Every structure is written in C-alpha cells, then in structure tokens.
Structure 1
Amino acid sequence: MNPPEHGRIPLNEGPRDQQLIALEKLQYMLDYSKSSTIATVLAPLLCLPLYWDDTETLRFSAWFTAMTLAVITRYVLLRSIRALSNPAQNAKVLNLAIGLVTLMWGLGWFVFVQPTDMVSYLLYQIISLTVLFVGMVGYCINWKTFFAFIVPLKAPELIFIALNFNQIVWPIALGSMVAFYLALKMAFLFSTSWEKSYALRLKNDALIDQLTEEKNASMSANVAKSEFIATASHDLRQPMQSVNIFIDMIDTQQLNESYGSIFNRMRKSVTVLNRMFNTLLDISKLDSNFVVREREFNLIEIVHSLEDSFNDLCTEKKIKLSFKGATHQVVGDLHLLEQILRNLLANAIQYTDQGHIEVAFHATSGALHFSVEDTGCGIPEEDLPLIFNEFYRSDHSRSQYDGLGLGLAIVHRIVKKINGQCHVQSEVGKGSVFTVHTRFAVIPVQHISRQPRRPAPPTGEASDRRDQELQAPASSRHLGILENDEALLQAYQQYFTQAGYCVHPVPYEEEAFHECLALLPKLDFILSDFRLGKRDGLYFIQQLREEFNHDIPACIVTADTSPQHLELFSRHNIDVMYKPIDIHTVEKFISTHI
C-alpha cells in the first residue's frame, strides 16, 4: 500500500481496517514524538541548575553525557521513520527511540536522589510522575509503545525502592507504584478503546444509510469515555492528594535558599498536575445532567475572583490584564459564567507572551455579552473550525505551549448548555478575540433592588455570647474523618491535629463503625471520602447525623468524578471537594462551616 498523502490515513472501506488503525496510531505517536523534541532537549538542561551543586560531579557528568547520547539517538531514529508502509517495523524503531530517554530518567534515581532527603525524593518523584503523565498523553493509544516508554522509567525506581526500603517514605513510594500499575492498565484499556473507536469511524464512512444507529453507538462510546476518564482520574487523584498534603506540611522557613528554590519548583509542578486533573473534572461535570442555576449577582464578584486567580501570572509574564463594563447586575448562573471566563482567560494567558488581555462586558438587547481579547500568537484560519474539539491542539503552537486541549471544549459545552453562542476572530501573530453571547438578563439600574441594611451588631448578653463563640479555640472543635486510604488518613490526622482540632478517625466497616458511635463525642464537622468499601460516605454522614440528632456540617472530599455521582451529591445537597485539593482550602471550608 502506498503511503498516505500528507501523513494522514485515507478512510477506505475493505478488509484493511487493522492496517489502517496501525498506521493511524503510528502517525499520531510519531507526530507527538517530533513535537516534543524541544521538551526532550530542555528537560535534561533544567537538571543543571537543579542538581549540579548537590550531586557528585562525576556521576552527574556521566548521567548527562548518557542522556545527551540518548536524546541524539532518539532524534536520529525518529528522523529515520519516513515511510509508513511498514508500521510494525517502524513502531519498534519508535519504541526504542523513546525508551532510551526514559531509561536515562529512570537511572536518575541512583544519581540525584538521597533516600533520607525528603525534598530530593519528592522532587524526583514529581519529575517521574510528570514524565509518566506526558507519556500517557502521547503514547497510551498503543499499549506496547506505552509499555516501552514507562517500564524503563519506573523499573529503576522499583529497584531503588527495594535497595533503600528502610529509608524511603513508604506511602509515597507505594502511591508511585500504584500509579505505575494503573498507568499500564489504563494504557491497555485506552488502546483497545481507541481501536474500537477508530474502527467505528471507518465503518460510519462506509455505512451512511445507518447514520441513526451509528449516532447512538457514538453517544454510548462518549458515555464510556466519560466513565473511563472518571475512573482513571479517581485512581490517579488518590496518591496525588497525599502528595499535596505532605507538600503543604513542609515548612519552607526551615529550608535553606537552595532547597527552598527546589521546593518552590516542585510545588509549581504539582500545581500544573492539579490543574490538569481539574480540567478532566470539568469535563466529567459537564457530562452529567447538571442544572443551570440562575440568581441575581453583580459582575464585579466574578472580576474580583478572576483578578485574584490570574493577576500574579499576568504580572510574571508582564501582560496587562484589564476589565471593562463590570458594573452590570445580571440574572444568570454565576458559576458557569465564571467557568467560561476562567477557561478563556487561561487560554489567552497561555498563548500570549507580551502585550495585554482585555475582558469587556456589554448589555445588548437586555442580555449579557462579553469578549476576551489578547495579543497572543493567534490561530491559523484552517484551525478555527477545530479549536472547540476535545483534545485538539494546533500544530501551529503545539510544540511551544503545554496543555490538554480541553479548555475551549469546556467553554463550548457550557455556552451550548446556557443556550448562548461563541465566536472567535483571530490573526496569526496579532492575537484573538473570543466573543460570547449569553441569554442572561442584564437588570437596568433603576430596577436593581436596594440592598438590605446590615443588622445592628448584637449588644449586651447576646454580644458576649457571640464573642465567646468566635473566640472558641480550635482544640474544642471535634472533627470526624472517614477515609479508607491509610496514608491520606494519617496525613489528615497529622495536619488537623497540628492545626489544633480534636481529630476522631471513624472506621468505615459497619460493625466497627457502630461500636465507635458509643465512644464518639458530639462532632462539629464530618470530613469523609465517598468510596468506603460496601457503603459510601453519604451513608455514614447520615448515620452520624441521626446518632446525634443534629444536622452536622459535612463535606465529601473524593476523587470520584463519575457523572451519576455528581448528580447524587447535588440531589442530597452535600458539599463536595475533589482530590487533589489544597489542604488549606479544606481547612478554610471546615472553619467557615463549623
């Protein structure tokens, strides 16, 4: 078979589906490998400022030389894959090329990591997880290639753990190995799922007369994809939550300047991973049957929130961020509107290196319209019809900017849900303007109701009683925790005990739970996971409330983002937070609701 034109696979019907699938996989992975060449070169160079002063010169030089040879070999091998007529042979060459580089990262455990040094151990653990996550994006469509990518990365770590088992922090090491296992499992499942999805695409092109039936199959595949993302997200979020808490518990004041700098870089890497997880969570939420909840609010509420989130990043990149017309009173869904703006702003900041970003609000025919204008790199005209597709990233900017390609897909889904419209105008090298037309009503100034006057402050005995409540020490606050992850439970106990709470771990086995009820004091707050063996967190929260005959404030902190569970939490009016989450955010939520 002749190679496809322009590196793309033609959709022909016939018995060659398997070969077409193999070719499409190879083309995708080859494109990804070439686009990540710059990152492959830069990543080892970043090790120079990170490890040069703290690593033996000979060991570092040997590793760096080996890594340089591996990167050069990778480049040569990738350049040798020109024709796609022999996908099996070319796949072996690709596997060898990417496996050489990840092997060097795996050997880095023996070069850079001191088992007794928590900071160096956590830093390299984050590097390893980041490399794993990047590999999943590019190679999980072919489990054999992903296997060739991840085994050289994680096998040396496993050997390192075995050789230093008396010195390492076991919860983190165990979480890393669980992530290794789950990554392999997910790559195999996703590879199979991708093959089926692509075969379905070939079949749809050949069977136009069965369009209705194939549309239903596509909807089912989309639900299966959402379930897969939710399951994969859950299993990866669990160990990441422990990593988040342990990082937050490190006192940066006790680190010297060098380690403090390393720790800050490590924290930024974790922040990037958390942002990726939350993007996947947004997709899961939008796949659920959520309800648009409208209320009256002022746009300045959203503007203040966005400024708090993005001002530091804009200052760091020397971009001027401005808002215009944010004085309108609106009736609409504040959360969804803020989510649209967050994704548009994040997208604009990511692709803008200098200049300004302006958000402008307008009231047109009584409805809210707004635009986000940037002076970024712009979007080629041929990519404009595709930018709202999930996981789509333009070849024009893929190699320069990171991301999953989900931000604009989320914007498109939300705008569609609120019966709005989104348009984009862009010019390469000059910037882009995203304009959103909503149906949210803008209230004329003369119709805005007066704000109720604040009640007078309490006086006398009522004032004294209120002051006593506000001054109650944290140690008098009883916090019940239900969590089946032992490492995470210990992290919660250690953190909240240090914060002054009286912590009560509550067992989730039913017999032990009922025995514990007789010994528990009256709880002020319940912090619970969702998946707890045979029962879920909702059940235990209800049992505790009935036991004390009191509607105890409670929150579920979970890694489960399945659409049906999102609906369940909403129906029971239970507050939910999703792992991984900043532990300070959890503590602030608890102190606010006690």
Structure 2
Amino acid sequence: MIEGLINPADPPERREEKLLTIARVLMRRVEQITDDGGIAYAQFERAALLEDQVRERTRELSRALDLLNETNAALHDANRQTEQARQNLASAIETVQEGFALFDANDVLVMCNSRFGMHMPDIRSRLLPGLTFDGYVDLCAHSAHLALAEGETPESWSIGRKRRHEERHVSFNVRMDFDHWVQVSEHRTADGGTVVLQTDVTDLIRLERQEMGRILDDQERLLRATLDHIDQGVAIFDREAQLVGWNARLGALLAIPVVRLRVGTAFEQIMLRLRAGFRMGQGMTEARMLTWADGRHSRPPLTFDLRHDAGLILTVFAQEMPDRGFVMSFTDITTERRAQEDLSRAKETLEVRVAERTLDLADALGRAERANASRSRFVAAASHDLLQPLSAAKLFLSAIPPEGVSAPVAETLGKAQNALVSVEAILAQLLDISRLESGRAALSVGPVPVGRLLRQLAEEFAPIALAKGLRLTVRASDAVVLSDAGYLRRILQNLIGNAIRYTDKGGVLVAARPRGTRLRLEVWDSGPGIPDEEQEAIFKEFHRIDGRASASEGMGLGLAIVERACTLLNHPLALWSRMGRGTVFMVQLPLADAAAQPEVTHRPAQLDQASAAGRIVLLVENDAELRRALTLVMEQWGAEVIEAADAAEAQSLLADLGILPDALLIDHQLESDMTGLDLIAAFRADHGILPTRLITASRDSTLRRAAAEAGVPVLEKPVSPEALRAFLAGL
C-alpha cells in the first residue's frame, strides 16, 4: 500500500517527506486505538520495522541513481570518442590519393572517400553507404566511361569482375575512356570485409608502352642488323603467307632483284623463282611446299636441299612461328657438299688402304701368334727335354751312398745337388711364364685355408731366413679365401723368397689382414727399398734391380709370375716401398663363404721307408738314362724293379715272368701309339687296380684333369727322390 503512495519518479527528498508523514499518521492512530491484547504495540513494532526497510530501500535507490548517472556519462564520452574516430577515419581516408571503399562482411558498402569512382562521374553520386557489392559492379559495368574489350559486353564484364571478387586478394587494371587506366586492388579484412582501392596508373601504362615501343624498335634494329650480317638468307612470312621481313643475303642466294622483295609479296612469287632455276631434293615438291605454307594443316619443320644448274647447293629450313607465320632460311652448302663428296671419295680410298693395312696387320698378328705359340711349344718341349736328363742326374746323385765318401767329395756332391735344384726351379718358372703368357693356364678356384698355407710356407722358408740371420714372422689367419691353391702358393713363395733374398738385416713379416669382404696378404721386408722408377720394371721378365741374374740368385722371373698370376686370378696386387726403409707387397683375395670352407684333414703318418724292401715295381720309361737312374735308386732302397722302354715291352716282360708287380711307375710320353694313361687303363682291365704313379714332365692342365679322372696321381719330372721314396714306403 505504501509502495502505491510513493511515486518512484519523485526525487528522494519528496519520497522521504511522504514516508515521514505516513509514519506520523500511523503513530497517531496507534495511540488512539486501545487494544488490551497488545495489538497496538505489535502494529507499532511493524511500523518501526517498515520505516527501517524504507530507509534501506531509499539508500539503495540513491546508489542506483548515482551508478546510472556515471554510466550515462561514460556512454556519452564513448559516443563522443566514436564519432571523433569516425571523423578522423573519414578525414584520413579523404587524404588518400587513391579511391577507397570499405564493404562489410555482407558485401554492403560502409564508407568510401570522394575519389572512389572518380573515373566514372556518371555513377559517382550513387556510390553511397548501403550499396551492395553486386550493385556497385553492375553500375561500373554499365558506366559510359568503361572501355570494354572487343566482343565484350557489360554483362560478361560484370560476371568476370564478380568472379575476381571471390579471391582473397586481387589486383588488375581496368581500361577507361580516352586511354585512361585504373588499377583496382581488393583485400580482405580480418572480420571478412573488403577494402577496395582504385589507383590511376595511366602515366605508368603510357610510360611502359613507350618503353616497350623503344625496346621493340631496338630489337627490330638489332634483328635487322643480325639478319643483314649472317651468311644465311632469311625470309619471314605472316599467317597469310605474305613476306614481312628478309635480308639482303636472301636476294643474293636466290638471285631475286631487290625491287621484287617487298612487304606483302606472296609466297607463291618466291616459289616461282625457286621453280625457275632450282631442283628440290629429299622428296620435296612445289605442291607439297605450297600446301605446307597454306597453313590449313599442321606445319612440322621442313628441311630439304635446292640444287641450281650452275652448281649452287642450298639447304632450306622452314619452321612455323607462334603467331602462325613461318620463317625460312637458305644456307649455301656448296663448299661443304663438295668437301663431303671429296671426303667420301677419300674415305673410299682410305677404306681400301685400311683394308689392305688390316690384312697386313692380320698377317703380322698371325705370324706373331704363330711365333708366340712356337716359342711356348719350344719352351715346353725344351723344358721337357731338359727335365729328362735333369731328373736322371738328381736320381744318380741321390743314389750315391753317403758311406765311404770323403768330405770334399760329399761337399762337391751337395753343390751339384743344389745346382740341379736351382736349374729345376728355373725350368719351373719358365714353364709357368709360358703357360701364363699363352693363356693356357688352367685355374682351379676354390676355398683355400690361408692359415695352413702360411704355416707350410713358414716351415719352408724358416731355415733359409735363419741362414741369413733374418727374423721370419708369419701372422697366420683362420680365414678361407677363394683362389687357386697352387698359384696362390707360387705367388707367396716368390714374394717371400724375394723378400729374404734382398734383405740383409732385420726381418721379413708375412701377415693376413681382413678388409671387409676381402683378405689382404702382406709381405714386408726391411731391405733397401725399390726406387720409384723401378717399381714398374721389376715385374718384367729377367729384370733385377742390381743388374745380376744367375741361377743361384734368381733369373728375375719371380715377380713376373706373381704379376701374371694375380691378373689371371683377379687378385689386386699393390706395392709400397721407401728407400732405406723396406718394401711391402700386398695381394687382396675374396673371402670364401663359410659353408664352402673345406674340412681340415690330417696327413697320414709317414710310413717306415724300409717297407719298400722286397716290393716289385714295374717301371716303364722311354728315356734310358732316367730309367736307369730310377732303377738304381729304387734298388738301393731294396725294391725289385722290372724295366721296360715302352708298353709292348712291359706287357711282354710281365707275360714272360708270370708275376704281378706291387706298384706301377709309368711315363706318360711313350714312343708308341699308347700313352701312359692308356697303358695304365689296359693294365687295370687285365689285372685290376694297383698303386700307380704317372711320371711326366708336362704341366698341361688337360693331362692333369685326365689323370685325376682316372684316379692316377702324378709325379712331375724331375722326379723328387723324396716323393718317390714316400710312394714306395706307402706300399
């Protein structure tokens, strides 16, 4: 009820006055009413409480009014600042030299300056806030000041302009009337609006056009100067096959007067001149050329020759240009063609001479090959013939009993034995060189245990090194390599032997060092070293650095064999040496697969040599001296020897004696149609398999394979007494 008496719109002083009046009226009424039940007092309390609430409500209302006044003041200041900012923005935009417009995220014009649309005064008054972007584009498209391209309509221009508006940033030039140009740029704002800038670029376009014209003029002058100074005749035609450019050389080559060459001359006129004195080559015809120049079909590049009756030869090259015109060049190749013809005739003459020379070289090569083959056969035959008496001499010397021989005679016999060993080594080296040079050396590449080979070589060369007072150190390896065991042994023998021979103090080191998938075998010495100028020559036959070559010190064949064997086996060979410091030879070998490594076998224990006593041996040898020496040696060991010079004699003796020998020693090269292997096969057919050895001086790999297939071990000449003794002891 009290709220109905108080008007909230009254000022606070008026409302307080009303409240005090209401309170006095209520107090008087309370005093007038007598209530024995205490109702009057309760009403008084409620009146007092109501008065407190009224005061509290009045204070809150006062604070709300104060806050409202402050807010209204702040809003007034903000509106004033916003208006000031708008005015400042409008002033700033107005100072911009370009046309400026701002469209909001809904493509509605928010504001623009007075220069926006300045090149289209017929629509300038309609560019007001609230205009849509599509409306703005349509106004521009129908403006009388917009210069449309040929064939372009306002509608097509409007569609293209709206399509560009879809991009976030765009810039393009618009042509206006009277050759004015405006550059329009659009940029998106952060809230999705669009800023449009219009810049007058007429001066830049005209300046660029002038510069381009100047460049084109310069290029035209440069092109004209170039055409006039080249040695080719050049004709340029437009898409209508009319002449638009040429040089003076064209008229000179085609003998066309200058007055006949002018802009607009049809290609047919040029063809008339070509028809008059030239013949076309490479299948080119006048009709085909005219069809090509017509341009109704594709124009692939053309090349053909023109021959004049006077002997002039021109090559023509025609090619289409990007603007559907084409260019033709005419080059005088008369001198080149004549030179080519002369060269062709000279070539024919030269071919005849080369053929004759080739035949001469083929004859020379045949003679050289025959000479080389003859030399190889001579070396092999000579070695075979030398090995026969050499083997006999060694056996005769070994047959001399040591008992009853004086010391000087024993020393002489030892020297003779050493000399025969040296001669045997030289013959073996000659045979190796012969096989390696002839290409007939057969390889048997397989897994070779390096450790076993190096230990054998250490045992072989240790006494030689000890005799010279040298240290021989061999660092073996458990690796297995892929090589030919025989040739690898010969390579290492020659390298180690050379190292010991040329080292006077210090020692020799033989080491096996793994290098990835390869193993490098190194032979180091502390010798005098090899000069740089000699490091290639030392691999030649019979070449020694000190100039000496003798049977006792070597003939200079060892490194030649090493180099050829390494080449044959594809084992890279390297050399490093320093004068006064020593030399190292290095051979790289491929490691064998672990699965291919051979099993290690143990040598059987050597049997008692006395077990040869009483054994009957059939010896078939066509050389009487060697046969007698072998018989003498074996008889000294207690064996009984049946001698025969050939297969027929051996078969006759066995038939007469009626006994079966315990072992066979058969020479392969017999003086009959039957070879040693043939005799062994015939004997086995009649009597079964007996212990057998094939004696031969031949190192032919074919013979070795045949003997291996027959299961017959080979004793090489000169026959080693130790090998022969081991064979008999094993019986």
**Per-residue deviation, residues 211-262 of structure 1 (Å, max 9, x unmatched):** 6765555444332221111111112221111110111122334323333333
Quote the Cα distance in structure 2 between the aligned partners of 1:398 and 1:484. 35
Counterpart amino acid of residue 432 in structure 1? T
Aligned AA (2:498): N
Give 2:502's aligned residue. 351
User: Of Structure 1 and Structure 2, which has the larger fraction of its residues in strand?
Assistant: 2
Specify every segment of 5 or more residues in structure 2 that has no aligned partner in the other structure, as ranges: 1-356
Residue 339 of structure 1 aligns to a residue whose secondary structure is helix
Deviation at 1:210, TM superposition (A): 6.7
Secondary structure, counterpart of 1:252 in structure 2:
coil
SS at match of 1:358: strand
Q: Tell me the secondary structure at the aligned position of residue 531 of structure 1.
A: coil
Specify the code of the residue in structure 2 equivalent to 1:380: P
Say whether the 8 Å CA contact 2:480–2:591 is kept in structure 1: no
The answer for the alignment partner of 2:493 in structure 1 is 342
Secondary structure at the counterpart of residue 484 of structure 1 = coil
Whether the aligned pair in 2 keeps the contact of 1:328 and 1:442 (CA below 8 Å) is no
Report 1 or 2 for greater relative contact order, CA contacts < 8 Å, sequence distance ≥ 6.
1
CA offset digits 1:50-90 (Å, max 9, x no partner): xxxxxxxxxxxxxxxxxxxxxxxxxxxxxxxxxxxxxxxxx
| CA offset digits 1:350-380 (Å, max 9, x no partner) | 2222211111102222222211111223222
1:542-588 deviation digits (Å, cap 9, x = unpaired): 1211110x232322222344676556545655322322232122221
The partner residue of 1:483 within 621, 644, 647 is 621
Q: Distance in 2 between matches of 1:240 and 1:450?
A: 37
Question: Secondary structure, in 3 states, of the residue corresponding to 2:553?
Answer: coil
Q: Which residue of 1 aligns with 2:544?
A: 393
1:426 aligns with 2:565: no
Deviation at 1:429, TM superposition (A): 3.5
Quickly say closer, same or farther: Cα 1:442–1:332, change in 2 above 3 A.
farther
- Cross-structure match for 2:675: 536
Alignment of 1:84-233 (within 5 A): 214=364, 217-233=367-383
2:429 maps to 279
- 1:227 touches 1:562 (CA, 8 Å); kept in 2? no
Output the amino acid matched with 1:333. D
Q: Does 1:547 align with 2:686?
A: yes
SS of alignment partner, residue 539 of structure 2: coil
Q: Does 1:405 align with 2:551?
A: no
Partner of 1:519: 657
2: CA distance, partners of 1:241 / 1:492? 9
Give the deviation of 1:483 after TM superposition. 1.0
Find the partner of 1:364 among 490, 515, 518. Answer: 515
Query: Counterpart in 2 of 1:375?
Result: 526
User: How far has the Cα of 1:590 moved from its partner?
Assistant: 4.0
1:107-153 residue CA offsets vs partner (Å, 9 max, x unmatched) = xxxxxxxxxxxxxxxxxxxxxxxxxxxxxxxxxxxxxxxxxxxxxxx
Structure whose CA Rg is larger: 2
Give per-residue Cα distances to partners, 1:281-340, cap 9 Å, x unaligned. Answer: 333454464443344453221122212221111111111111124232445433222121
AA aligned opposite 1:268: N
**Cα distance in structure 1, aligned partners of 2:462 and 2:547:** 27
Inter-CA distance 387–210: structure 2 relative to 1 (3 Å threshold): farther
Contact (CA 8 Å) 1:370, 1:437: kept in 2 or not? yes
Q: Secondary structure at the match of 2:536?
A: helix
Judge conservation of contact 1:314–1:320 (CA < 8 Å) in 2. Answer: yes
Give the Cα–Cα distance (whole angstroms) in 2 for the partners of residues 401 and 269 of structure 1: 8
Q: CA deviation at 1:420?
A: 1.3
- 2:52 matched residue in structure 1: none
TM-score normalised per structure 2: 0.46
State the distance in 2 between where 1:577 and 1:441 align.
30
Structure 2 partner of 1:248: 398
State the Cα distance separating 1:449 from its structure 2 match: 8.0
Residue 341 of structure 1: CA displacement? 0.5
Displacement of 1:421 after TM fit? 0.9
SS class of match (1:528):
strand
1:540–1:314 distance in 2 versus 1, CA, 3 Å: same
Partner of 1:62 in structure 2?
none
Q: Does the alignment pair 1:310 with 2:461?
A: yes
Do the aligned residues in 2 keep the contact of 1:363 with 1:442 (CA within 8 Å)?
A: no
Give the corresponding residue for 1:259: 409
Asked whether the 8 Å contact 1:284–1:563 carries over to 2, the reply is no
Note the alpha carbon deviations across 1:483-532, whole angstroms, 9 max, x for none: 12222222222221221223222341526634634635333321122221
- In 1, the alpha carbon distance for the partners of 2:459 and 2:529 equals 26
Is the CA contact (8 Å cut-off) linking 1:285 and 1:566 kept in structure 2?
Answer: no
Query: What is residue 53 of structure 2 aligned with on the other side?
Result: none
Kindly indicate whether residue 646 of structure 2 is the aligned counterpart of residue 508 of structure 1. yes
Change (3 A) 1:542 1:449: closer
| Structure holding more helix per residue | 1
**1:270 and 2:420 equivalent?**
yes
Q: Distance in 2 between matches of 1:234 and 1:448?
A: 37
Q: CA deviation at 1:269?
A: 2.0
Structure 2 residue corresponding to 1:234, chosen from 366, 380, 384: 384
* C-alpha spacing 1:452/1:222, structure 2 compared with 1 (3 Å): closer
Query: Could you say what the CA RMSD is over the residues aligned between the two structures, in angstroms?
Result: 3.4
Which residue is 1:75 aligned to? Answer: none
Contact 2:481–2:519, Cα closer than 8 Å, also in 1: yes
Q: 2:413 corresponds to which letter in structure 1? A: F
Distance 1:473 1:256, change over 3 A: closer
Shifted more, 374-383 versus 310-319: the winner is 374-383
Deviation at residue 264 of structure 1 after TM alignment: 2.4
In 1, Cα distance between equivalents of 2:620 and 2:613: 19
How many angstroms apart in 1 are the aligned matches of 2:600 and 2:525? 39
Return the letter of the residue paired with 1:406.
L
| C-alpha contact (below 8 Å) 1:526/1:553 kept by paired residues | yes
- The CA deviation at 1:476 is 4.8
Distance in 1 separating the partners of 2:525 and 2:368? 36
Taking structure 1 as reference, are residues 258 and 220 closer, same or farther at Cα in structure 2, changes over 3 Å only? same
Residue 448 of structure 1 and its aligned partner are, at CA, apart by 9.3
Q: Structure 1: where are the runs of 5+ without partners? A: 1-206, 455-468
**What's the CA shift string for 1:148-176, capped at 9, x where partnerless?**
xxxxxxxxxxxxxxxxxxxxxxxxxxxxx
Change (3 A) 1:414 1:569: farther
Contact kept? 2:451, 2:476, Cα under 8 Å: no
Q: What residue number does 2:696 align with?
A: 558
Seen in structure 2, the aligned counterparts of structure 1 residues 310 and 283 have a Cα distance that, compared at 3 Å, is same
Instruction: Return closer, same or farther for 1:440/1:522 CA change in 2, 3 Å cut-off.
Output: farther
Distance 2:711 2:434 in 1: 19
SS in 2 for 1:382: helix
The answer to whether the aligner puts 1:576 opposite 2:714 as a matched pair is: yes
Matched residues in 2 for 1:563 and 1:344: separation?
24
SS at match of 2:545: coil
Identity %, equivalent residues: 28
Change (3 A) 1:503 1:442: same
